[in-house]
Amino acid sequence: MAPPSDASQPRLAAGCRWGGSEEDRVILFPEGAIKLQGTGRQVLERCDGQRTFGEIIAELQKQFGAAGPAKIRDDISQFLEQLQRKRIVDY
């Protein structure tokens, strides 16, 4: 699967939704659930189908300025590719 482009608008795939409490948020999908914490949760909370991949990267680069911009982009791209293969995220 191809990595997201800067113009891609990542969102939860059809059949997937947020569940759990505010402290213990999970993504519910037909085959199960994934508990999200930390950076993964911050990335997916921004995947609303409105923001572009480029905008999400820019927001997270401001937040995690100590990490290199290329590393942030690569890590988030790989994360979203994995979730797309599992049919949890579309872009």
Residue 73 resides in a domain? yes
Q: Confidence class of residue 15 from pLDDT cuts 50, 70 and 90?
A: very high
Residue 6 resides in a domain? no
Residue 78 resides in a domain? yes
**CA-based Rg of the chain, rounded to a whole angstrom?**
13
Residue 2 resides in a domain? no
Q: Which domain holds residue 72?
A: 11-86
CB 56 within 8 A of CB 43: yes
Residue 1 resides in a domain? no
Residue 28 resides in a domain? yes
CATH code at position 32:
1.10.10.1150
| Predicted confidence (pLDDT) per residue in 33-89, tens digit | 999 888 999 999 999 999 999 999 999 999 887 778 899 999 999 999 999 999 999
Which residue type occupies 48? D
Q: If residue 26 lies in a helix (H) or strand (E), which one and from where to where?
A: strand 25-29
Q: Under DSSP, is residue 2 helix (H, G, I), strand (E, B) or coil? A: coil
pLDDT at 68: 85
pLDDT at 31: 87
Residue 2 has pLDDT above 80, yes or no: yes
pLDDT at 26: 94
Query: Is the pTM higher than 0.85?
Result: yes
Residue 7 has pLDDT above 80, yes or no: yes
**Number of structural domains found in the chain:** 1
Residue 5 resides in a domain? no
Structure tokens that stand for 22 in this block: 């505010």
